[in-house]
Amino acid sequence: MASVSFTPTFRHTDYVDNRDRVQAGGPNGFNARFRALQEDLGKLSEVITQVDGALQQRPTAGMLIDATVTIPAFNAGPPSTGGVFDVQLGALLPLTSHAFHFVSVRPGAAFLNAQVTWEEVAFAADTGAGAPLIARMLRLRHQRPVAVTVSVRVLRLELQD
């Protein structure tokens, strides 16, 4: 998208009491000032239309995951087992892919006080022929002695180069 800008051209000059005679016509009259304001507002409207057009062409986020998953109980060990659950974030993508994820993780009603953390993990996958691909997953964690059910929603937005 080209650069969009708006530079106002109207500059108000205050009238001075008992010196300026206010009138409708003339270069300093109300009509000339209101026409200048109207012209600036018209230019601003054009800029807003350009911005709106650019926003209409932006990529939209697609729903990638909308699921309920259960993270196993945390056991500090020995041996430590956890409270970790991995969710695959779709298919493998080219290493140059610009994908952004918006993640929402909410514990179920029975575990509203369970603190569930998440991190997005990415790793390169060598496919042998061609460029490497990247795999992404969401790693969910908690530290409760019981399994925790969470609602996971992930939106993916891929930007074009």
Could you give phi then psi for residue 36, rounded to 5 degrees?
-65, -40
Residue 96's pLDDT band (boundaries 50, 70, 90)?
low
- CATH top-level class of 62-159: mainly beta
pLDDT at 32 (0 to 100) = 87
CATH 2.60.120 domain range(s) in the chain? 62-159
Q: pLDDT tens-digit profile of 103-140?
A: 888 877 666 677 888 888 877 777 677 777 777 788 88
Could you give phi then psi for residue 46, rounded to 5 degrees?
-65, -40
Instruction: Answer whether residue 41 shows pLDDT above 70.
Output: yes
pLDDT at 160 (0 to 100) = 62
Which residue intervals of 3-135 are DSSP H helices? 30-56
DSSP per-residue string spanning 90-137: SS-EETT-EEEEEEEEEE-GGGTT---EEEEEEEEE--SSSS-EEEEE
Q: 40-49, 97-106, 107-116, 150-159 — which one is most confidently predicted on average?
A: 40-49
Let me know: does 28 contact 2? Beta carbons within 8 Å: no
pTM over 0.85: no
For the chain, what is the mean pLDDT?
80
Of residues 101 and 40, more confidently modeled: 40
Q: pLDDT tens-digit profile of 52-70?
A: 887 777 766 777 788 888 8
pLDDT at 88 (0 to 100) = 82
Residue 64, burial from CB neighbour count under 10 angstroms (0-12, 13-18, 19+): buried
Let me know: does 89 contact 69? Beta carbons within 8 Å: no
Report the distance separating Cα 46 and Cα 102, nearest Å: 32
